[in-house]
Structure 1
Amino acid sequence: MSEIYSKLMKHLEKSTALETALVLFQWDSETLAPEKSMELTAKSIGILSSEYYNSLINEDVKSLLDKLSEEDEQKQLDFNQKAIVKKLRKTFEEMEHIPPEEYQAYQELIAKAPGIWSKAKQENHYPSFAPYLEEIMNYNKKFAGYRVKEGQELYDVLLNDYEEGFNTKELDVFFDKVKSAIVPLLKEVVKKNDMIKKEYNYESFEIDKQKEFCNFISQYVGFDLSRGVIAESAHPFTTKLHNQDVRITNHFLEHNLESAIFSIIHETGHALYEMNVDSAITLSPVGTGASMGMHESQSRFFENIIGRSKSFWIPVFSKLQETFPEQLKDVSLDSFIKGINKSVPNLIRTEADELTYSLHIIIRYEIEKMIFAGEASIHHLPAIWNQKYKEYLGVEPPSDSNGILQDIHWSCGNIGYFPSYAIGSAIAAQIYYHMEAIMPFHSYLEEGNLAPISEYLKEHIHKYGASKNTNELLMDMMKEPLNPDYYVRYLTEKYTKLYEL
């Protein structure tokens, strides 16, 4: 091993330990911490964040990275080590221009803000969250300004953080292609919506029994409870310390059976990615997903491509009926499959069907663009949100809790994240057509044998973590970069068949 790289690893070990502590704080705040705790706890998070910043952003690390970029040093590094150096240099360049006191203050802010958001959502009171959101947006504008290159838009800086190489110009083309296919198809689907009945989904379903079934289905999909934990939170999420400690949460609604089931399958998809990262890199800067788009592709692949297919439910639908015998006694498998795939424009992104889902993302993307272009004030966002929902989906939120306050992301500082969901859906469709061509995909599902599917994803995507980027993974796997045409094909084929168009 390179002597210079060994010196760098000492810095990395410290930064990883500090990052792990911060992850634990975040997990605790979302799942267990008392409501009033974060005002003071945030100060500890700020101090730890400052230590994390200083462990990476210093002259020693800069000097080591410069030396490791030299040709002679590069020759001494293996594939993973080169990827770690590359990723760490990118992180260094992103953070070095941010003054340390501003970094600490911002980390304290986004430690407190999710609790403020959660309370505002519960009380349907956007004004109590708005000042925090405005401060978060201002910090993000400021931080993007420190990093922006000549001719680059501020918002593009943040988009690139989540999906390297993507900017508003490329995303506008991507979303225009998706929108031009979805909107006319949705109009035809809505005309025939009465042909699919799903009243069963809104009966009363005991929460404890929902938890029991969701734990079963998560493990059925592949979640390993010896290396993972399932808890509850206001908004389901996945986090990890390393590939031996991956944590997911769920959220339960008494009168919506599908909600928790598909949330847990979604989060299990994220978890499998993290559990399958190679142990050699799990405690390193590349020990996570290649990008948020690729990460979302895995969650949405399991949730939608697999989880909403008839093949998946053939072996397990009887288990669901046994869990809720009264509510599902007159529901056939075919009726259930039609129900879980029914397309109805609604208010809530996480409850959206596959056909309308990207319209929810487009709304958030357009609002973020408006904020960064100075075309929308934070205090006017509820009205803008409601108007866009009426325009794109034909529905209008009756409250801010079902509107502007429904997502946790902005309170966590995840600005520019939402497009990754749509990119992930497109990648998932592309992977599906590839896998369907090379293996008996649906036969495996009908047999209750997800292992060959999961193993293929592990060998071609998961184990590499972030040592390869999205298009490198796709090119190595199927000799083709991201192509949204597969996504349009998938939605068109699925809903044309479902609604007999």
Structure 2
Amino acid sequence: MESRRDRFRSLIKDKKLIDSTLAVIHWDLETEAPKEGQKLLSEMIGYLSLKSYEIATSSEFLELLGFLKKNENLLTISEKKEIEELLEESEKLKKIPALEYKEYSELTAKAQGIWAEAREKNDFSIFENSLDKIFDFNKKFIKYRGKLENPYDMILDDYEKGMTTEKLDIFFNSLKAEIVPLLKQIKEKNKDFSSVINGKVDKENQKKISNELAKYLGFDFNRGIISESAHPFTLTVNKNDVRITTRYIEELPFSSIFSTIHETGHAIYEQGISDDLKETILADGTSMAIHESQSRFYENIVGRSKEFWIKIYENLKNNYKFLEKISIEDFYKGINSVQPSLIRVEADELTYSLHIMVRYEIEKGIFNGEYKVKDLPKIWNEKMKEYLGVEPKNDGEGVLQDVHWSCGLIGYFPSYALGNAYSAQIYNKMKKDLNVEKILISGDMEKIKHWLHEKIHQYGKLKTPKELVEEITGEDLNPKYYIEYLKEKYSKIYEL
């Protein structure tokens, strides 16, 4: 038993080293790599992805998993969970031909550069062929794994265990039924608070504030860095090397602020995973929706609260000079102004989930044969007009605004909306344990981070989303807390 266990741990270490190397290359590809160097980096990603695939699907590895599973009474709780996760993952991977897996890994690595060029030139046709191939690969992989009645369900399940289109349709319909009427009431008030936060701030001042905010929230710079990219993201090499990016737009200085706060939420989760899991495959967030619950909690529930800014507002005004004569009350309304907009990452908290619905319905439509990739700019614009009453003038502010599809992250977008709901439900419980308003005013952010570490972060993938949420809140995912939170907050701001 011990020799088998030691060999298993040795193979896991090999796989984790390869995957960590892949993470560093991906980081370089999306932040610093010169354009002419991207082809080789993409090939390196394809090569190393194949090596990781070969370990996970090798006869030796599968035999070890089978042996350990049969002797699970001799395993620790974390080892049992690790075997369970690996068996499921290996089962998926071994059905995909190795060369196709390598080809797909190279395709998504190259596609990110192609997407960036298409976005810069506002020309979807540049990216269309790559995106078509990415969707085709995903459809093919689903068939290899065993076609379901609804193929898209299999992809959704990869990001959130047990999630289906049936469940998501109910979820989104419940949000739509409440958010759309609330949005209509706010529109009728005809108040625009956003003008107070419209100003210009140079990149260096934005960078200074971003770094200060991340540190204030609890990001450990001894175990992480902040860089820049076209689309903000968080990438984990391991819990002691967590890298986040933001972007600095002089005319939109709060873009970097809320992007940084959002990504810091992801990073704090990763840095908070227990050291006991560091050498296992469980050293990761339990699901993308739980991960998004942490980033959306920090970005919105914390970052868009008035209490959070009370202690640090003077420092912000010293760097963002146009705020010098703006009261904190007007500032609070400004950062919570509701205005249907084109860009998801700049969307206000209320309309954000409507942006996710557009993407969800497009993905669902492609998988059920209703839509074709070549028609996406037109479909995108129609849905934006239907749900948000705004229409993109070009592909850059429309269908090309998100990097996710170029990375192969099909089925990821619903995680953002689910994360919003999880965050409000978790916050509802946190308020019963902590005086959150008092903590935010005092600036003792460590107390909030500690609570989240204790309830969520430390467990990594050891517990499922359902187990975590039920243990914390006493019930499964329930969007009513998110709806109540939005209604209470925006009714006060807009005096409804």
Q: TM-score range by the shorter chain?
A: over 0.9
Structure 1 residue aligned with 2:139: 141
Q: Which amino acid aligns with 1:114?
A: Q
Q: Does 1:247 align with 2:230?
A: no
Distance in 2 between the 1:419 and 1:231 partners? 26
User: Which residue of 409, 412, 415 maps to 2:410?
Assistant: 415
Q: Which runs of 5+ in 2 are unaligned?
A: none
Structure 2 residue aligned with 1:184: 181
Distance in 1 between the 2:82 and 2:292 partners? 22
Q: 1:36 Cα shift?
A: 2.2
Please say if residues 69 and 80 of structure 2, whose CA atoms lie closer than 8 Å, have aligned partners that are also in contact.
no
Q: Does 1:440 align with 2:438?
A: no
Q: 1:3 Cα shift?
A: 3.9
Structure 1 residue aligned with 2:73: 75
Q: Which amino acid aligns with 2:234?
A: T
Structure 2 residue aligned with 1:5: 5
Q: Which amino acid aligns with 1:422?
A: A
Tell me the TM-score normalised to structure 1 length: 0.97
Distance in 1 between the 2:303 and 2:28 partners? 29
Q: Which amino acid aligns with 1:431?
A: I
Q: Which amino acid aligns with 1:367?
A: I
Q: Does 1:262 align with 2:221?
A: no
Distance in 2 between the 1:102 and 1:308 partners? 44
User: Which residue of 198, 203, 207 maps to 1:207?
Assistant: 203
Structure 2 residue aligned with 1:237: 233
User: Which residue of 394, 397, 407 maps to 1:399?
Assistant: 394
Structure 1 residue aligned with 2:166: 169
Please say if residues 2 and 77 of structure 1, whose CA atoms lie closer than 8 Å, have aligned partners that are also in contact.
no
Structure 2 residue aligned with 1:41: 41
Distance in 2 between the 1:425 and 1:190 partners? 22
Q: Which amino acid aligns with 1:405?
A: L
User: Which residue of 385, 393, 405 maps to 1:390?
Assistant: 385
Distance in 1 between the 2:185 and 2:119 partners? 34
Partner SS, residue 37 of structure 1: helix
Please say if residues 277 and 464 of structure 1, whose CA atoms lie closer than 8 Å, have aligned partners that are also in contact.
yes
Structure 1 residue aligned with 2:301: 305
The runs of 4+ residues in structure 1 deviating greater than 4 Å are none
Q: Does 1:365 align with 2:360?
A: yes
Structure 1 residue aligned with 2:460: 465
Q: Deviations over 1:76-99 (max 9, x none)?
A: 111111111111111101111000
Structure 1 residue aligned with 2:490: 495
Distance in 2 between the 1:495 and 1:289 partners? 31
Please say if residues 425 and 473 of structure 2, whose CA atoms lie closer than 8 Å, have aligned partners that are also in contact.
no
Distance in 2 between the 1:307 and 1:217 partners? 10
Structure 1 residue aligned with 2:98: 100
Q: Which amino acid aligns with 2:306?
A: K
Q: 1:67 Cα shift?
A: 1.5
Distance in 2 between the 1:451 and 1:34 partners? 39
Q: Which amino acid aligns with 1:38?
A: Q
Please say if residues 148 and 154 of structure 1, whose CA atoms lie closer than 8 Å, have aligned partners that are also in contact.
no
Q: 1:129 Cα shift?
A: 0.5
The Cα RMSD (Å) is 1.1
Distance in 1 between the 2:324 and 2:43 partners? 53
Structure 1 residue aligned with 2:331: 336
Please say if residues 306 and 312 of structure 1, whose CA atoms lie closer than 8 Å, have aligned partners that are also in contact.
yes
Q: Which runs of 5+ in 1 are unaligned?
A: none
Q: Deviations over 1:367-400 (max 9, x none)?
A: 0011001111111100000000000000000110
Partner SS, residue 355 of structure 1: coil
Please say if residues 30 and 233 of structure 1, whose CA atoms lie closer than 8 Å, have aligned partners that are also in contact.
yes
Distance in 2 between the 1:344 and 1:5 partners? 56
Distance in 1 between the 2:483 and 2:56 partners? 43
Please say if residues 193 and 343 of structure 1, whose CA atoms lie closer than 8 Å, have aligned partners that are also in contact.
no
Distance in 2 between the 1:193 and 1:365 partners? 30
Q: Deviations over 1:3-50 (max 9, x none)?
A: 433221111111111101110110000110001222232122211111
Q: Deviations over 1:431-456 (max 9, x none)?
A: 11111122111101100011111101
Q: Which amino acid aligns with 2:85?
A: K
Distance in 2 between the 1:235 and 1:289 partners? 21
Q: Deviations over 1:87-139 (max 9, x none)?
A: 11111011110000000000000110101101110111110000000000100
Structure 1 residue aligned with 2:369: 374
Q: 1:222 Cα shift?
A: 0.6
Partner SS, residue 401 of structure 1: coil
Please say if residues 29 and 41 of structure 2, whose CA atoms lie closer than 8 Å, have aligned partners that are also in contact.
no
Q: 1:190 Cα shift?
A: 1.2
Q: Which amino acid aligns with 1:276?
A: G
Q: 1:283 Cα shift?
A: 3.2
Please say if residues 192 and 499 of structure 1, whose CA atoms lie closer than 8 Å, have aligned partners that are also in contact.
yes
Q: How does 1:12-161 map to 2 (within 5 A)?
A: 12-70=12-70, 73-149=71-147, 151-161=148-158
Q: How does 1:291-330 map to 2 (within 5 A)?
A: 291-325=287-321, 327-330=322-325
Q: Which amino acid aligns with 2:271?
A: M
Distance in 2 between the 1:433 and 1:81 partners? 33
Distance in 2 between the 1:348 and 1:448 partners? 31
Alpha-carbon distance change, 35 to 193 in structure 1, aligned in 2, over 3 angstroms: farther
Paired residue total: 496
- Report the more deviating stretch, 154-163 or 469-478: 469-478
Partner SS, residue 36 of structure 1: helix
Q: 1:2 Cα shift?
A: 4.5
Q: 1:193 Cα shift?
A: 3.6
Distance in 2 between the 1:39 and 1:257 partners? 33
Q: Does 1:283 align with 2:274?
A: no
Q: Which amino acid aligns with 2:126?
A: S
Q: Which amino acid aligns with 1:58?
A: S
Q: Which amino acid aligns with 1:24?
A: V
Q: Does 1:425 align with 2:420?
A: yes
Partner SS, residue 239 of structure 1: strand
Q: 1:152 Cα shift?
A: 3.5
Please say if residues 311 and 441 of structure 2, whose CA atoms lie closer than 8 Å, have aligned partners that are also in contact.
yes
Q: 1:286 Cα shift?
A: 1.1
Distance in 1 between the 2:279 and 2:307 partners? 37
Distance in 1 between the 2:313 and 2:423 partners? 24
Please say if residues 242 and 283 of structure 1, whose CA atoms lie closer than 8 Å, have aligned partners that are also in contact.
no
Please say if residues 159 and 416 of structure 1, whose CA atoms lie closer than 8 Å, have aligned partners that are also in contact.
yes
Q: 1:324 Cα shift?
A: 2.1
Please say if residues 196 and 330 of structure 2, whose CA atoms lie closer than 8 Å, have aligned partners that are also in contact.
no
